């Protein structure tokens, strides 16, 4: 239910922004539908790849999305590919469309992480901090760390996603280049995600001291730097 609410929040944002930009009223709904489909497919595909041996042995489990099993960065890449296709079909510049779409992403993501907190996935490792939460007996976090207070890493992500959402909303009318808002997202979200991963307590794949999400965060941050530096200025910022 929180996943649906996350997409509804993003669509509400896109509808309001479309009206301000002079886009058709239905644009926000169309964008939301395709972002949802491509995002879920990409997120699920990434999870299947990360757990290939399990799904190779039990292929029918691929369809059991109701059990969870979505990787955000996979969804981000899937949605980015969808944006490229939409831009070609609409004869619109990719970076202009990407700027529009990415403004709603952290809002939907913030709501979605609340769902993760309620479901007990993406949980943190034990802590003595006053922020620690203890999950009920029998839940996945409790099985991993019985009777322990855990970092609410899902809510950490909700908090910094809301900060990013506010920053992107502020910058969107002031951007000097198409693609600037998208680049700004790549310069902010990966930093927060990289740091939060140090507090995660669920099973993660590690290589050279970093997990896959942290490694991809570094790559996307580098891409953001390149876009910020080399995308040409196309407009004067709004006063």
In a domain, 102, yes or no: yes
> Is residue 102 classed exposed, middle or buried when 0-12, 13-18 and 19+ CB atoms within 10 A define those classes?
buried
Question: What residues contact 216, with CB distance under 8 A and at least 6 apart?
Answer: 73, 190
Please report the pLDDT score of residue 238 as a whole number: 54
- pLDDT surpassing 90 at residue 69: no
Asked whether residue 65 carries a pLDDT value surpassing 80, the answer given is no
Q: Reply yes or no on whether the pLDDT at 47 is more than 90.
A: no
- 235 is a domain residue: no
- Longest CA span, the chain: 59
**Helix or strand holding residue 211 (H, E):** strand 210-211
Task: Using the predicted structure, report yes or no on whether residue 184 has a pLDDT greater than 90.
Answer: yes
In a domain, 60, yes or no: yes
User: What pTM did the predictor assign?
Assistant: 0.90
For position 182, what pLDDT does the model report?
97
Indicate whether 237 belongs to any domain.
no
User: What φ, ψ does residue 200 adopt, rounded to 5°?
Assistant: -70, 140
Examine residue 236 and state whether it is found in any structural domain, yes or no.
no
Q: What mean pLDDT is predicted for residues 140-163?
A: 95
The pLDDT, as a whole number, for residue 204 is 66
Residues 6+ apart with CB under 8 A from 13: 28, 103, 104, 107
Q: Would residue 189 count as lying in a domain?
A: yes
Contacts of 93 (CB under 8 A, 6+ apart): 87, 178
Residue 35 pLDDT more than 60? yes
In a domain, 118, yes or no: yes
Most confident of 15-24, 61-70, 200-209, 226-235: 15-24
User: Mean pLDDT for the chain?
Assistant: 89
The parent domain of residue 150 ranges over 2-230
DSSP state of 209: T
Q: Is residue 105 part of a domain?
A: yes
- Mention every residue, 6+ apart, whose C-beta is less than 8 A from residue 32: 7, 10, 11, 14
User: So what's the pLDDT on residue 51?
Assistant: 81
State how many domains the chain has: 1
CA distances from 30 to 25, 41, 76, 194 (A): 10, 17, 17, 32
Q: Is the pLDDT at 3 greater than 60, yes or no?
A: yes
Instruction: For residue 124, report the phi and psi dihedrals to the nearest 5 degrees.
Output: -95, 180
CA neighbours within 13 Å on the CB side: how many for 230?
Answer: 6
Question: Is residue 163 over pLDDT 60?
Answer: yes
pLDDT at 70 over 60: yes
CA distances, 154 to each of 77, 92, 123, 199, 200 (Å): 21, 35, 7, 10, 9
Mean pLDDT of 155-165: 97
pLDDT at 83: 94
């Amino acid at each position: 239910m929180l996943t649906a609410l996350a997409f509804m929040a993003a669509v509400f944002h896109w509808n309001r922004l479309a009206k301000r930009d002079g886009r058709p009223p239905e644009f926000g709904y169309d964008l939301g539908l395709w972002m949802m489909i491509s995002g879920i497919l990409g997120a699920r595909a990434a999870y299947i790849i990360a757990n290939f041996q399990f799904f190779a042995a039990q292929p029918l489990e691929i369809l059991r999305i109701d059990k969870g099993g979505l990787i955000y960065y996979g969804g981000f890449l899937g949605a980015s590919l969808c944006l490229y296709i939409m831009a070609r079909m609409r004869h619109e510049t990719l970076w202009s469309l990407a700027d529009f779409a990415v403004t709603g992403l952290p809002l939907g993501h913030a709501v979605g992480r609340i769902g993760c907190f309620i479901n007990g996935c993406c949980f943190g490792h034990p802590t003595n901090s006053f922020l620690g939460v203890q999950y009920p007996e029998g839940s996945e976090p409790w099985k991993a760390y019985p009777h322990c207070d855990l970092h609410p890493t899902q809510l950490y992500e909700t908090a910094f996603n809301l900060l990013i959402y506010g920053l992107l909303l502020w910058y969107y009318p002031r951007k000097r280049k198409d693609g600037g808002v998208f680049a700004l997202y790549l310069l902010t979200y990966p930093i927060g995600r990289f740091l939060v991963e140090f507090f995660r307590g669920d099973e993660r794949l590690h290589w050279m001291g970093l997990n896959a999400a942290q490694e991809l965060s570094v790559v996307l941050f580098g891409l953001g730097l390149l876009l910020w530096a080399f995308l040409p200025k196309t407009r004067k910022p709004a006063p």
